Amino acid sequence: MTIDLLSRRGVLGAFAATTVAAAPVMANAFGFLRGAGDMRRIRMYSGRTGESIDTVYWVDGKYIREALNEINVFMRDWRSGEAIGIDPRAVDVAAASHRLLQTNEPYMMLSGYRSPRTNAMLRRSSGGVARNSLHMVGKAADLRLRSRSVNQMYNAAASCRAGGVGKYSRSDFVHMDCGPIRTWGS
């Protein structure tokens, strides 16, 4: 199993390097979300767990199940260890925004999936946590980049017009989700 996974990663890595080098700069993330690229890649790390992920999760119009499974585990509720299926559209929003920002720096993921129990605990200690948060159904992520401002990240994600985007300047992160299109924050 390990050899097959490494072999798949090696092939995808070579494919990704070739595709990225040959791909034109995307001026419009909406086209990217509709499938205008040959591959989609997500790069993130978690300061909470010390883990990182750098994976191609979509190639030639198809999601790669093994990569999505890795994303599900990576984006788990780090407090409880619970994982669910992350909506691939939430990953698409983050990947398209990242590509628009033209940086190689991986996202720092502050929050992916949150169990209902974790969400309730956070709600008691913070006014900015929604009762019916899309984090609880695997449709949201809170992300940060050192090399880009909150405004830059917010603008890139909002330009995708593919879900909700929240700007949290005081906490230095942007919320991205694949729910209804809306924006908020300061």
pLDDT digits (tens, 9 = 90+) for 104-161: 999 999 999 999 999 999 989 887 788 899 999 999 999 999 999 999 999 999 999 9
Give the tens place of pLDDT for each residue, 65-109.
999 999 999 999 999 999 999 999 999 999 999 999 999 999 999
| Top-confidence residue, 89 or 30 | 89
| Top-confidence residue, 4 or 161 | 161
Burial code (b: 16+ CB inside 10 Å, e: under 16) for 91-112 equals: bbbbbbbbbbbebeebbbbbbb
Q: Which CATH number fits domain 2-185: 2.160.10.10, 3.30.1380.10, 1.10.260.40, 3.30.70.20?
A: 3.30.1380.10
- Domain spans, the chain: 2-185
pTM of the model: 0.79
Q: Where are the alpha helices (DSSP H) in 75-145?
A: 88-100, 116-125
Secondary structure class of 156 (helix, strand, coil): helix
Position 183: which residue type? T
| Top-confidence residue, 31 or 109 | 109
| Band of residue 17 on the pLDDT scale cut at 50, 70, 90 | very low
Greatest pairwise CA separation for the chain in angstroms: 49
